[in-house]
């Protein structure tokens, strides 16, 4: 459902201050799978996800979503994606329901369908109470729930979630993680980034470990443990970084 082929992104490529944020990243995410992109801050997770979401153009390499190359047909690819970025912002003066209605209309959805989807997603995210409040009055967790509802409103096949629980309290984080798990059961293909090892261990079918823009490992948790001689993702990641192991 998602394929990355030697994706590379170099910023300031034509200057002496060029930075290689992602280097030759290749992996696939199968239909109905949760793929976790795990790495520390600054590892290249956000840049990689933005290339997959047809927001950033790769310097080299390419990616595809449901067989559609994002460099050839970006609009068609985006229609299949629900994208949540850590930099997502809501219109402060609008109520949460109005924000969702606005995006529903941008997606070309009928009004009755928009209303139905808003009600369904609000119930699933335990966000009914915030729908008629202005966005500038929402907490961080409430804002994140509305942002996730916005990304899912048009029923995309693929969800790309960049640090979806960052800055949230434990109860809100649990709601978001339960929602991701349930989204898989409904048939969505999900890739999400995190620097929290426990989230990846709990949710992911497969994991990609990324450091300094390079994919160090891509596989199931047990495969990574066996190949590194460790018993958890934190130790596995440290073993690869410190030993410069590539799996």
Of 52, 40, 44, 55, which Cα lies nearest the Cα of 19? Answer: 44
For residue 82, the surrounding DSSP H or E stretch is: strand 81-84
DSSP structural state of residue 2: E
Question: Same structural domain for residues 50 and 167?
Answer: yes
Whether 140 and 167 have beta carbons less than 8 Å apart is answered as: yes
Same-domain check for residues 177 and 62:
yes
Report the number of distinct structural domains present in the chain: 2
> Same domain, yes or no, for 116 and 50?
no
Query: Do 54 and 149 belong to one domain?
Result: no
Give all strands (DSSP E) within 122-179, no chain letters.
158-162
177 with 239, same domain: the answer is yes
- The pTM score is 0.88
Q: Is 134 exposed, middle or buried (0-12, 13-18, 19+ CB in 10 A)?
A: middle
List, in order, residues 6 or more apart from 204 with CB less than 8 Å away: 34, 35, 36, 221
- By residue range, what is the domain housing residue 66? 2-80+157-243
The CATH number of residue 34's host domain is 3.40.50.300
Task: Indicate the residue among 155, 180, 210 that finishes a domain.
Answer: 155
Domain end, chosen from 137, 155, 173, is at: 155
Tens digit of each residue's pLDDT, the chain (247 residues)? 999 999 999 998 778 889 999 999 999 999 999 999 998 888 999 999 999 999 999 999 999 999 999 989 999 998 899 999 877 789 999 999 999 999 999 999 999 999 999 999 999 999 999 999 999 999 999 999 999 999 999 999 999 999 898 888 888 888 889 989 999 998 999 999 988 888 888 899 999 999 999 999 899 999 999 988 898 888 988 888 876 544 4
């Amino acid at each position: 459902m998602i394929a990355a082929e030697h994706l590379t992104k170099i910023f300031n490529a034509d200057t002496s201050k060029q930075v290689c944020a992602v280097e030759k990243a290749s992996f696939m995410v199968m239909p109905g799978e949760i793929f976790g992109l795990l790495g520390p801050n600054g590892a290249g997770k956000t840049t990689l996800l933005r290339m997959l979401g047809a927001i950033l153009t790769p310097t080299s390499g390419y990616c595809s979503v449901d067989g559609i190359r994002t460099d050839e047909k970006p609009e068609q690819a985006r229609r299949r994606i629900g994208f949540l970025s850590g930099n997502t912002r809501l219109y402060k003066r609008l109520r949460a329901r109005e924000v969702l209605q606005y995006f529903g209309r941008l997606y070309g959805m009928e009004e009755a369908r928009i209303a139905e989807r808003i009600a369904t997603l609000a119930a699933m995210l335990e966000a009914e109470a915030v729908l008629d409040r202005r966005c500038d009055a929402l907490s961080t967790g409430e804002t994140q729930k509305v942002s996730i509802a916005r990304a899912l409103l048009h029923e995309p096949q693929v969800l790309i979630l960049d640090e979806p629980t960052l800055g949230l309290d434990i109860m809100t984080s649990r709601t978001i993680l339960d929602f991701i798990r349930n989204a898989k059961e409904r048939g969505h293909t999900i890739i999400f980034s995190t620097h929290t090892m426990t989230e990846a261990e709990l949710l992911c079918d497969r994991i990609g470990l990324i450091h300094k823009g390079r994919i160090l490992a891509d596989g199931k948790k047990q495969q990574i443990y066996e190949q590194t001689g460790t018993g958890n993702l934190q130790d596995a990641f440290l073993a690869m970084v410190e030993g410069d192991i590539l799996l």
